[in-house]
Amino acid sequence: MEFQFYKYHALGNDYIVIDPNKTKVNLSAENIRLICHRNFGVGSDGILYGPVLEEDHTFSLKILNPDGSEAEKSGNGIRMFSRYLVDANYVTQKEFTLKTLGGAVQVELLDDKGDQIRVDMGTVTFASGQIPVTGAPREVVNETMLIHNRRLAVTCLSIGNPHCVVMADEPSRETAVELGPVIETHPQFPNRINVQFLKVIDRKNIRIEIWERGAGYTLASGSSSCAAASAAYKLGLVDNEITVHMPGGIIKIDIRQDGHVFMTGPVTPVSKGVFADDFWNQIRS
């Protein structure tokens, strides 16, 4: 049987893989929203569309948010897509390159099945023009934002996609849901922004709650883990090896002296299936 979609989760952050080599689907913004809808579609935090084989024999993928927009990079998405490449026999080697809108990443499988995957997520920048954040050129570190009459200490950065890390005494889902969408769409961030609410537990552990641009509240995020750990490291609050605790579980972050950030975490297959005829008639190319 030829399946039309494959579903994975990474610490409760779930994505659907649609392989263009097997399934010809019209991924308009409307169809993306329908497929990802948890009542009217399959339901997911996004769609991973690929692989597309490049001329240099690397694979590329598109990362699509449930609101129909395209994300530059997703740490969890990259790990899930890498697991799909193993499951579908696209790769047999332990190390390979994936290309995303936010740049190329190096992937390393830590076991034969791809249950644990390590990703070189690239180099973080705090430069306002590269995130982007409006205002004078600067590193956006430990600045103050006034949101809902609250003064928030924020550090902003890009790791191929934009992040705003907010220091919080006790991060909670309620705070993320209340303040996340306001910060995401703040005029200071012309491309919108991912938001993490961060508490430092000790030099090796942090805890975060996450509001993802284009997706909303989520249980875990790879790029958010990288961003929060990098912000805490920049502020001198943690060492270079950090465990990030999220409602969905933990991710290990390793920040190297050359600025590269490595992320290690699990992937779990969930299901694979076919679209019902009526649904398929709405979304097929």
**Any idea where the domains of the chain sit in the sequence?**
5-115+268-283, 123-264
Q: Report residue 247's pLDDT band, with 50, 70 and 90 as the boundaries.
A: very high
- Is 39 a known ligand-binding residue? no
Q: pLDDT-derived band of residue 259, with 50, 70 and 90 as boundaries? A: confident
Quote the pLDDT of residue 215: 94
Whether residue 21 is annotated as binding a ligand: the answer is: no
Question: Taking 80 as the threshold, does the pLDDT of residue 252 lie above it?
Answer: yes
Is 281 labeled as ligand-binding? no
Q: What is the tens place of the pLDDT at every residue in 260-279?
A: 999 999 999 999 999 999 99
Residue 100 has pLDDT above 90, yes or no: yes
pLDDT of residue 285: 76
Buried b / exposed e over 166-195, threshold 16 CB at 10 Å, is bbbeebeeebbeebbbebbebebbeebbbb
Q: What percent of the chain has pLDDT over 70?
A: 100
**Any binding-site annotation on 76?**
yes
Provide mean pLDDT across the span 119-130: 97
For the chain, percent of residues with pLDDT exceeding 90: 93
Mean pLDDT of the chain: 96
129 annotated ligand-binding residue: no
Number of neighbouring beta carbons within 10 Å of residue 103: 15
Q: Tell me: is residue 207 an annotated ligand-binding position.
A: no
| pLDDT attached to residue 221 | 97
41 in a known ligand binding site: no
> Using CA atoms, how far apart are residues 276 and 244, in angstroms rounded to an integer?
39
The answer on whether 68 is annotated among ligand-binding residues is: no
Q: What is the CATH code for 5-115+268-283? A: 3.10.310.10
- The reported pTM is 0.94
Q: Is 31 annotated as a binding residue?
A: no
Query: What pLDDT does 257 receive?
Result: 83
Segment 9-31, tens digit of pLDDT: 999 999 999 999 999 999 999 99
What class has domain 123-264?
Answer: alpha beta
The answer on pLDDT for 1 being more than 80 is no
Residue 43, pLDDT > 90, answer yes
180 annotated ligand binder: no
- Per-residue model confidence as pLDDT tens digits over 48-90: 999 998 888 789 999 999 999 999 999 999 999 999 999 999 9
Task: Please state whether the peptide bond connecting residue 137 to the residue before it is cis, i.e. omega within 30 degrees of 0.
Answer: no
Which pLDDT value is given to residue 101?
Answer: 94
